[in-house]
Structure 1
């Protein structure tokens, strides 16, 4: 199968994205296999939400994966158009007369606050772009950004986009080892970091991790340091590239003193914008490459469709809050490029949700009149544990009109709590919660949401906590078996993306073969060789054609021929009042092959009960909710379950800890310190199985 191309339909650009009535757009019917032209016309219209320096003429081209060459598909969107991501996120809003609109309500963990308008943001991004160029950074150079959630983090990110440099953000809590891998793998010329960050009520040093990360063989010429906490730092003045500056330079001396005027360039749509590293417990993280025009189209359209008020005339009152760390792809799409590309107002918060107290998020919602609250199920479960009797009435949450979850399929208990407590002012006539909840499914690889309920269309009587419903416009998925045949109703299979959106990652940085083997190899011959993307999650479709995500394929548990979903067992456990959170892992069993082992975080009431009484009760509870076959073999109380920065429970790591196996990479976890704690618990319990030695 050769190259497929689609010429762009003529679509007038919307004067400003906040005026676009995207909720009323016709959505292509992808159940009809002949609707491909309509799908691509839809994406051409969505690309009209952006400002283009040079309009595109070709919407899309697709060269299928090549199994012999071990190469993934060559997918291109809007490739003959030219644009600038920073201009789309900042300059055009100022030019449209919206310079005085607040772009960012910043909340620092110590209590400092700042409101940044689009005009302020434009000036700061211009200064940072000039500073980057003065440090020798040019189009195509890579910049690693190792900062917490600060205004400056967004500023330097957009400054990279403005000059065509490729940015890669790294969570400020990651270890020096995790940072070093990303610096070396990207071949970065510049590392941006800080003297320290505020975390859980104290100033945590950061610069020493940065120094350790750049101590080896790398391409770093400068380390740009932001003064945030006033912590003492070591300093390297060695001139690495002959520009007369030392390796280490201060932000306030280089950025704050730069000119506030900067002339942007416009780049081809397929120009790389950023590298997003996945995390996992096996193998090295994969650096997924996202390109400018397609990614920005997906981000802006899906932000408007999911989070903006359906009535464009009401959007000036929108205040969006995505609680993710800026280094996570969710924050790239729904905390930076999506909201800022649309010209929206949003909150960014530096700290953790329970410092100085567990009501910090509710204070922020009340102060800024937040309308959309987008968070992870793991945070919702934490809030449930902190507020077992509900959120106190003293917090005014009446501004909330939409909730959202991301990271993993939300447990029904957590979904109901979020709608009932955070959305307590949205009540149906019969007294039941009526807050719309978008339970979004997507990945670092997809770049924007693939599956989600429509917030304005969800019938409360059909609300299904834990279901991600159906495809977003322009995407097409299937639930299939190992051979690619669609599974039946309520039969678990693999979810695949059969038609991608423009925000899809193009390759793995420096390793295109890994892109093929990780995502395309299994179904490379589907549809006569067009190829399908293997997402890596198990799923099922119900009788209404709604999709339920059942966790990673590797996390499914086959017990004596019964295929069990880890998420379903976890959901059953967290309905028990003594369980705040649960992670269920497939562990070795000599008789059944696998057995379900549950690691549970207990509530304060659960911690006061004897384990001899509680743990059998929890096993029985799962048997009552799902059935006897689903009862975990063991229930193990732990302080935390290990999670990625996106809030996904690392079940494979729990398997390794339980079975005494060699651990994979844990540096990308958000709560790495819990790993040795769980390891010690498993060693004390002697959970590692006795395996029979192979005989000759």
Structure 2
């Protein structure tokens, strides 16, 4: 019997979306989604008002596709500013003393900023940036963890009409240099360093190397994390963040930007080829996160009695960083960020922080959830988690075993897991549920509001109960405005597979009951004797074995079948994958998926290459297995794992002879 989770009645009755549907006389959430897809002008045209946004000048038309769907323009002639709507508007409505941000350092240091305090610092930094010549359209790069100065810098860029370019704080200098050069950045905002598992990561040194290698002439603003910093310094170029804003006027009128003006430049991770620069508009940067926070995560606005705090375990350089910060502040809610690792210095750290700060929404990548699961349930039982109302997952498909652990062990079957999938290129989600819908294990439920998506086969036909490609058949405001200085690549990447249809690159499935699933990236799909399967389907089954902590499956060349399935699995602590366990795992797969999809080999490994946000980098595993080497992406969080995969592949080749 298939397990279906249903939301408690009190959750449904108190949900934002329930109140919205009652006001608009809409029968249920399915009907709302369909209406939002069928009538884009109704949904997107009214959404700014529903969210309480303020325009400097109201738009004339909701959207215009005269230059083709690929180049749709939104909110024609509308003038708006993200910073104004995320700060000034909240203060003007009487909620300036409410906490906007909470930051928790690995050493226990806590920084809280109210909306008033944040705006004052944003205004001071805006005045400094103006003094050094930053203008509308200039790029301000931010290479630092998700800390107060990072958020202030991003809002200051928006306030000026400049373009914020967040860069992952774990990148090596070469990767940062590549982005600075591509963006032709006017300013780099960084930090002297940060803590990670008791060690000081000296970020300024990496920033200096990146600037030197980029050959870009820019100003470097350095946020001070440590009392004493023995770091390299260039008096003609560098300035401490506090010195930059000290003595500056605390007032700065937000620039009236066009709704279509670029606000965010976010380079994709660059796991294949050069990084792609997604360009998100002012209005797209506002609407997509705020819509999903309000209707899907059920984050209450600042005007309610609730004091909602979202903690998404992420970095400012990943899409979810700006998504968290902007979405919460447009609603007048709060966001939380953590320096360092989740399990240091204590393995119950996450649960203690939820109890201490009354976190209401916890988001993660599935890998982070698996890490927490592996630490055991002692911390869950020890701490009061009653403040939690919802969970979130993104970045990779979540296996059923981990999904059940989150829902049952942590959530006590009273809180939904908002499993979402989208991308940097839309600063949000194509697929995600709302708190009012029923859920199957691991499902994303279906389309987000206003997101017209489908699953296509190879010939561009919609398919059901059969894997296919996730596509978008209509535009949405947060879709990237081309790719940074590369319009040809934009068309080739997203619009050439199916004419006039956005090809997202995910492998997806809509089951017989209408529930949607992401099965992995299309590039990761394995083809065995003409039959295709996504790695997530296999890994979900393998990870459910009581000896397996995590796994990654790839296709391995075979002269008869084309490809056979090979899986690399990390055993749980204290476990080993001997012949008995391996045979059990193979039988589990063949029983659930059929004999053709039984893995040819299962190889035990100590670790798998992954990004800091938790995504397993199957491309690296695949390249090593097929070609004997791999180009190591700068996003790899654990480079030692690459050597482990090389060892495992060597073992695999002996077994395959």
TM-score if structure 1 supplies the norm length? 0.87
SS of residue in 2 equivalent to 1:258: coil
Residue 462 of structure 2, aligned match among 472, 478, 486: 486
Contact 2:143–2:169 (Cα < 8 Å) also in 1: yes
Contact 2:373–2:405 (Cα < 8 Å) also in 1: yes
- Are 1:122 and 2:119 matched, yes or no? yes
Task: Give the Cα–Cα distance (whole angstroms) in 2 for the partners of residues 394 and 640 of structure 1.
Answer: 29
Contact 1:90–1:340 (Cα < 8 Å) also in 2: yes
1:215–1:383: structure 2 CA closer, same or farther, 3 Å change rule?
same
Residue 523 of structure 1, aligned match among 477, 493, 498: 498
Task: Give the Cα–Cα distance (whole angstroms) in 2 for the partners of residues 276 and 20 of structure 1.
Answer: 34
Per-residue deviation at 1:588?
Answer: 1.5
Partner residue, 2:280: 290
Per-residue deviation at 1:62?
Answer: 1.5
1:121–1:446: structure 2 CA closer, same or farther, 3 Å change rule?
same
Per-residue deviation at 1:585?
Answer: 1.3
Partner residue, 1:55: 58
1:30–1:494: structure 2 CA closer, same or farther, 3 Å change rule?
farther
Per-residue deviation at 1:624?
Answer: 3.5
Contact 1:666–1:672 (Cα < 8 Å) also in 2: no
Partner residue, 2:342: 353
Task: Give the Cα–Cα distance (whole angstroms) in 2 for the partners of residues 312 and 207 of structure 1.
Answer: 37
Per-residue CA deviations over 1:296-327 (Å, capped at 9, x if unaligned) read 12221221112235799755232222121121
Per-residue deviation at 1:143?
Answer: 1.2
Contact 1:270–1:292 (Cα < 8 Å) also in 2: yes
> Matches of residues 65-76 of structure 1 in structure 2 within 5 Å?
65=68, 73-76=70-73
Contact 1:28–1:39 (Cα < 8 Å) also in 2: no
- Are 1:574 and 2:543 matched, yes or no? yes
Contact 2:469–2:522 (Cα < 8 Å) also in 1: yes
Residue 610 of structure 2, aligned match among 630, 643, 648: 643
Residue 383 of structure 1, aligned match among 372, 380, 383: 372
SS of residue in 1 equivalent to 2:42: helix
Task: Give the Cα–Cα distance (whole angstroms) in 1 for the partners of residues 551 and 138 of structure 2.
Answer: 42
Per-residue deviation at 1:490?
Answer: 1.2
Higher helix share: 2
Partner residue, 1:512: 487
Contact 2:146–2:321 (Cα < 8 Å) also in 1: no
Task: Give the Cα–Cα distance (whole angstroms) in 2 for the partners of residues 646 and 535 of structure 1.
Answer: 20
1:23–1:422: structure 2 CA closer, same or farther, 3 Å change rule?
farther
> Matches of residues 432-511 of structure 1 in structure 2 within 5 Å?
433-458=413-438, 463-487=439-463, 489-511=464-486
Per-residue deviation at 1:574?
Answer: 0.8
Partner residue, 2:358: 369
Per-residue deviation at 1:638?
Answer: 2.4
Task: Give the Cα–Cα distance (whole angstroms) in 2 for the partners of residues 19 and 620 of structure 1.
Answer: 44
1:128–1:570: structure 2 CA closer, same or farther, 3 Å change rule?
same
> Matches of residues 526-605 of structure 1 in structure 2 within 5 Å?
531-605=500-574
1:315–1:670: structure 2 CA closer, same or farther, 3 Å change rule?
farther
Contact 1:659–1:689 (Cα < 8 Å) also in 2: no
Task: Give the Cα–Cα distance (whole angstroms) in 2 for the partners of residues 28 and 77 of structure 1.
Answer: 25
Task: Give the Cα–Cα distance (whole angstroms) in 2 for the partners of residues 597 and 645 of structure 1.
Answer: 24
Per-residue deviation at 1:660?
Answer: 3.1
- Are 1:81 and 2:75 matched, yes or no? no
Per-residue deviation at 1:642?
Answer: 2.0
Per-residue CA deviations over 1:207-260 (Å, capped at 9, x if unaligned) read 1111111113533321111121333111223xxxxxxxx112221211234221
Partner residue, 2:260: 270
* 445-454 or 575-584, larger mean C-alpha shift: 445-454
> Matches of residues 70-469 of structure 1 in structure 2 within 5 Å?
73-229=70-226, 230-237=228-235, 246-309=236-299, 316-333=306-323, 335-387=324-376, 389=377, 391-424=379-412, 433-458=413-438, 463-469=439-445
Contact 1:30–1:476 (Cα < 8 Å) also in 2: no
1:610–1:349: structure 2 CA closer, same or farther, 3 Å change rule?
closer
* 258-267 or 531-540, larger mean C-alpha shift: 258-267
Per-residue CA deviations over 1:167-194 (Å, capped at 9, x if unaligned) read 1111111111110110011111111111
Per-residue CA deviations over 1:626-659 (Å, capped at 9, x if unaligned) read 3332222222222322223443322122111222
SS of residue in 1 equivalent to 2:263: strand
Task: Give the Cα–Cα distance (whole angstroms) in 2 for the partners of residues 438 and 569 of structure 1.
Answer: 22
Task: Give the Cα–Cα distance (whole angstroms) in 1 for the partners of residues 523 and 586 of structure 2.
Answer: 23
Task: Give the Cα–Cα distance (whole angstroms) in 2 for the partners of residues 52 and 645 of structure 1.
Answer: 37
Contact 1:42–1:474 (Cα < 8 Å) also in 2: yes
Per-residue deviation at 1:338?
Answer: 0.6
Task: Give the Cα–Cα distance (whole angstroms) in 1 for the partners of residues 240 and 296 of structure 2.
Answer: 39
Task: Give the Cα–Cα distance (whole angstroms) in 1 for the partners of residues 133 and 36 of structure 2.
Answer: 48
Per-residue CA deviations over 1:23-55 (Å, capped at 9, x if unaligned) read 5455796998x9877321211111222111111
1:598–1:392: structure 2 CA closer, same or farther, 3 Å change rule?
same
Task: Give the Cα–Cα distance (whole angstroms) in 2 for the partners of residues 78 and 20 of structure 1.
Answer: 27
Tell me how large the CA RMSD over aligned residues is. 2.4
Task: Give the Cα–Cα distance (whole angstroms) in 2 for the partners of residues 566 and 610 of structure 1.
Answer: 20
Task: Give the Cα–Cα distance (whole angstroms) in 2 for the partners of residues 250 and 310 of structure 1.
Answer: 36
Partner residue, 1:242: none
Per-residue deviation at 1:457?
Answer: 2.8
Contact 1:283–1:665 (Cα < 8 Å) also in 2: no
Task: Give the Cα–Cα distance (whole angstroms) in 1 for the partners of residues 399 and 333 of structure 2.
Answer: 30
SS of residue in 2 equivalent to 1:594: strand
Structure 2: gaps (5+ residues): 1-15
